[in-house]
Structure 1
Amino acid sequence: FGRFNYSFKDRYLLTFTLRNDGTSRFSPDNRWGLFPSVALAWKILDEPWMQNTNILSHLKLRLGYGVTGQQNIGQGNYPYLPIYTYSQINAQYQFDTTFFTTLRPEGYDANIKWEETTTYNIGLDYGFADDRFYGSLDFYYRKTEDLLNVIPVPAGTNLTNYILTNIGDLENKGVEFSITTRPIVKENLLWEVGFNATYNKNEITKLTATDDPDYLGVATGGISGGVGNTVQMHSVGYSASSYFVYEQVYDANGNPIEGMYVDRNGDGEITDDDRYHYKDPAADFYFGISSYLQYKNWNFSFAGRANFGNYVYNNVSSENGVYQRLYRPEGPYLGNATSDVTTINFVTPQYLSNYYIQDGSYFRMDNIKLSYLFDNIISDKVSLSISATVNNAFVITRYKGLDPEISGGIDNRIYPRPRVYVLGINLLF
């Protein structure tokens, strides 16, 4: 690891870093990755021709370029090595009266290597009215190459039908904006408000070694129900983990019709060819807001955030929101069907219907805190602070499941986030 910093007239700034990271997860030929980055900054407000500006209090232009490496393979520690698995006792080889344990070779990729992400960034830091208003604006572009992913391969080509390898490219581009303001600054009253917003768009640009327009993609997003069912697909030209489902048909009253889907290719029958890409779990817009209010010895603050444009597959409803789940003959016992069973009116599960792809946009109030400071309770050196805090105070959403904030976009028996109430007493001396 090395870093070089250079400043000219304290107005023109340069930072260069170089990392040489190594990991035993890859073979000696691919073990080390060299990752450079460079950042340039120009303090525009310090230029002589900007000295007479009274409105601006801070103005700096930033340019950045950098490469980072990822090695989170999530499948064993040494996927480049050939591995043999012992046979089970009922799969031994018999020779005469003796049974011998056999070794089965597993598939592997000896050339697996670092996943690399290249980022370009241009940003502007600003401040107005002696920094009563300040923040930043950033535009970025990220390209990830040699994505580490588990993909299907033709059976028999590498002793397996799925293998972890480097395949594909992914692009992310967007804009980030933040502003902090202090609307009120007085002797006994201070109010500070912060707001940030991000727009991000991701798209898979490559999934095969050579261009193949007929290649559908990599199935992912396993769900509960059925055998091997997946509801997501990594495909070129779409966002990562886009949902890949059937288009539901509705009656005149807007109710879904069980087992009836749109024949999208017009061949007169419903097959896998009628599944299509529909929405994705990544939000288009991210927002955050915070506020801090101080009046004499009182302090009040809160922080919240919002996602808009993200969609969730409600696997809890698709598996349990059907009449078939009300009575379980294997018990027999009454099943734990979801409350929407009477509105959906499905008898059997329809796992691949886009009806279960639901808007997961939300606003979550992460925390609210109120405190009061008692000065000089014993002497002028001792104070007492009493506070009350609520974490995960509330969520506003149209999502029909338990919680719209789902990692990966598939809602399947998540552990609910607790709402925590905290009363605190701090003695200061």
Structure 2
Amino acid sequence: TQYFISGAYTNEEGPITIQDAPMIQGSTRLNLKQAVNDKLTVSMTSYFSDRDRSLYGEGGESYFLRRLTFLTAQANLLAEDPNEPGGYSHIGESIDVGNAAENPVNRLVNTDHTEDRSRFLGGFDATYSPFRWLKVIGNVSIDRIDIDESYYQRPGLSRLFKTVKTLGSMRQEDRLRQEFNASLTLAANRQFGDLTMRNRVRWLMETLDNSGSEVRVSELPVGGVHSLGVATGTPQINSYSESIRSEGLFLINQFTYKDKYVGDFLVRQDGSSLFGADERWQNYGRVSMAWRVAQEPWFNVDWIDELKPRFSIGTSGGRPRFDAQYQTYAISSGQLIPTTLGNKSLKPELATEQEIGIDMVIAQRLKIVASLVDMKVEDQLLLVPLPSSTGFESQWKNAGTIETDTWEVGIEALIVDRPGLQWTTRVNLDKSESIITELNTPSFEITTPGYSRARMMVQEGEKVGAFYGFQWLESCDGLKEGSSCDEFDVNDMGHLVYVGAGNSWKDGKAKDLWGTKGTVNGRTYDWGHPIRPDSDSPLIFTKLGDSQPDLNASLSQDIQWGNVGISFLLDGEWGASIYNFSHHWQSRDWHNKIADMRGVPDAEKKPISYFSALQYRNNANSFFAEDADYVKLREVSVRYIMYEDDLPDIVRRTGIKQATINLIGRNLKTWTDYLGFDPEVGTDTYGGSAVVGRVDEWAIPNYRSFGIDVEVVF
């Protein structure tokens, strides 16, 4: 009998210190393995974790950060309100605070938004070997996640410059996700001379059930009572239930000949209830080949220990979301409103990937892995807008093809290897470019209802994640035909501005020109202000940037000197763009830090109206499309290892073989010119992925953290 028992406890403070709401998680693991006889072995695995955390002000919760950045620096947010025990006061002076409707600290400390999440994973395996070369393997497993989320905001909170108090609100949400899987595998391993064959036949069954319910209430007559029943307002009740069933059959053959020629073949059939009714079953396959050239008798390069070119080609499928195939409606004022048209012919995306690469080991110290990958994703799943004549807003369709080219290089060098000292360096470089090569529907844009934040275009020939808007003029080429360039100048922000004959952009204060206007070729301009292109100009709607970097890179070092180990990781990204909507909206209310003219020479100072003009009614424009280049000190760790010989006798008698203490710091330093809090930002509002939707909308940044790990091996 073999067994493994482990436990872990985590207590992590949140990013907002005024809110005493740490993330606390405990987990335990128990694994057992029993040989019933020489042919039958059974095993059991189990894992349970429970996590409590505050959701307010964490992760995607942007309210606190958004409101905070709209307040003036002199606002005393921590001043207690003598007329409101436990609350925080108004700002105090009648100053323009833009969109800040209340003190965000007041709301923060008087709002509880918590999540209790528990997870259980269990599995049972049985392996029967009737012959030495044949195994029958059965597996069943379960993965259950229970989430209890609650929200409470006490009534009676003051709002800035408003006599109306908040009425208070509560929300209770319960979610359950349960997955049950079963598989049966027939495995045969045979050797015929120099040929080793490994064959698998596998059947897989998966079930996934999601369900949840939510109740929202408002108008709480008393504070401090966390009960839905005390609310006097009309409750809002919602629930959902989803069931997904999948089944698959795999045929796998792997072979090695003379330990030099390696092959891998797979044929697979998948069936899923997520596929449209007319496309329930799909077929996939894979072929992989490798050649260990350095093992050939004629290869006599002594300093090359491994030289392995390889090639593979395979297909797979990206599954639709649960509701994509169905016809959906919304309810408004008791009326059914058609929203999404169903599609019985909806198929999974078909991804075909080809990879060619080479692996090398040189002098047992240098390892190089290089790959070129070409991926073509056909039948792309897109939510396509429909003509109003259909009666529906949109429909999920297999409407496009995306082709992605990727190259990757990884280098690992063992710089020092001697008793008591090892030093390893790793460098990784990669680049991917994804382009929409086919679109079987008219071009369309992805945006957020109610705003023109970042207008992401989906059209043939365009990169995935490209966003559009208007380009502020940077040269006279964008002026109306016939306009004289003599009355314009380019300022220190790169903007073309009207200055009048004989003036420069630096003459605004010296000649008292700010606030004046001028007319050129029938168009009136504000002196010194950025110029928006004319409505018939190609710059009125042009590409501003895209979310795909030109290069990703990382550098890691690991040094082990006796019992002490030190490691660090640097990584970076170059060439991508971010649409900084956080700064965009702040410019509307005069709270963008770029408007701070302290320390700026008088000739270069600009009035607040200059930065308000850049905001231009929330319309996406070039000024807020920023470079996302950065380098991060991602992690530093210092560890001390006590091996068995280092442990006191009294400790060894307990069965402890090794103990390690590890101090870790993460996200320690970022080098970037990006004006937002963190260049690692995105939202899944655009295209369903934060990697594609590189839009900054007040998300809490990746904050610096420090931790200590203690590991004991028995």
Task: Report TM bin, short chain.
Answer: 0.7 to 0.9
Unpaired stretches in structure 2, ≥5 consecutive residues: 1-249, 475-488, 498-528, 598-607, 682-689
TM-score (norm 1): 0.83
TM-score (norm 2): 0.51
Residue 125 of structure 1 corresponds to which residue in structure 2?
A: 359
CA distance in 1, matches of 2:338, 2:710: 63
What secondary structure sits across from 1:236 in the alignment? coil
2:562 is equivalent to residue 296 of structure 1: yes
- Give the 5 Å matches for 1:10-409: 10-50=259-299, 52-73=300-321, 77-85=322-330, 88-89=333-334, 91=335, 106-130=340-364, 132-156=365-389, 158-208=390-440, 217-222=443-448, 227=451, 230-250=454-474, 252-255=490-493, 256=495, 260-263=531-534, 269-270=535-536, 274-322=540-588, 325-326=589-590, 337-342=591-596, 345-347=610-612, 349-350=615-616, 351-374=619-642, 376-379=646-649, 381=652, 385-406=660-681, 407=690, 408-409=693-694
**1:82-138 deviation per Cα after TM superposition (whole angstroms, max 9, x unaligned):** 34555633x5xxxxxxxxxx68585222321111111111110101002x0012111
- Measure how far apart 1:188 and its partner are: 1.6
- Measure how far apart 1:247 and its partner are: 1.2
Q: Does structure 1 retain, via aligned residues, the 8 Å contact 2:320–2:347? A: no
CA distance in 1, matches of 2:340, 2:395: 10
Q: Which amino acid in the other structure matches residue 532 of structure 2? A: Y
What secondary structure sits across from 1:340 in the alignment? helix
Structure number, greater radius of gyration: 2
CA distance in 2, matches of 1:103, 1:144: 33
- Measure how far apart 1:386 and its partner are: 3.4
Per the alignment, do residues 178 and 32 of structure 1 end up closer, same or farther by CA in structure 2, a change over 3 Å counting?
same
Unpaired stretches in structure 1, ≥5 consecutive residues: 92-101, 210-214, 264-268, 327-336
Q: Does structure 2 retain, via aligned residues, the 8 Å contact 1:232–1:244? A: yes
CA distance in 1, matches of 2:453, 2:627: 22
Q: Which amino acid in the other structure matches residue 622 of structure 2? A: N
Q: Does structure 2 retain, via aligned residues, the 8 Å contact 1:107–1:160? A: yes
CA distance in 1, matches of 2:329, 2:581: 36
Q: Which amino acid in the other structure matches residue 64 of structure 1? A: S
Residue 329 of structure 1 corresponds to which residue in structure 2?
A: none
Q: Does structure 2 retain, via aligned residues, the 8 Å contact 1:138–1:176? A: yes
CA distance in 2, matches of 1:292, 1:139: 28
CA distance in 2, matches of 1:390, 1:354: 36
Identity fraction in percent: 22
What secondary structure sits across from 1:222 in the alignment? coil
CA distance in 2, matches of 1:105, 1:203: 29
What secondary structure sits across from 2:388 in the alignment? coil
CA distance in 1, matches of 2:542, 2:414: 49
**1:5-56 deviation per Cα after TM superposition (whole angstroms, max 9, x unaligned):** 1222221111011222222122232122211111011111111111x22110
Q: Does structure 2 retain, via aligned residues, the 8 Å contact 1:221–1:410? A: no
CA distance in 1, matches of 2:377, 2:410: 26
CA distance in 2, matches of 1:278, 1:416: 24
Higher relative contact order (CA 8 A, sep 6+): 1
- Measure how far apart 1:413 and its partner are: 1.4
- Measure how far apart 1:425 and its partner are: 4.3
Q: Which amino acid in the other structure matches residue 473 of structure 2? A: V
CA distance in 2, matches of 1:240, 1:308: 17
What secondary structure sits across from 1:249 in the alignment? coil
CA distance in 1, matches of 2:452, 2:270: 37
CA distance in 2, matches of 1:70, 1:187: 49
Per the alignment, do residues 185 and 400 of structure 1 end up closer, same or farther by CA in structure 2, a change over 3 Å counting?
same
Per the alignment, do residues 377 and 241 of structure 1 end up closer, same or farther by CA in structure 2, a change over 3 Å counting?
closer
CA distance in 2, matches of 1:134, 1:81: 50
Q: Which amino acid in the other structure matches residue 318 of structure 2? A: Q
Per the alignment, do residues 227 and 357 of structure 1 end up closer, same or farther by CA in structure 2, a change over 3 Å counting?
closer
CA distance in 1, matches of 2:258, 2:710: 49
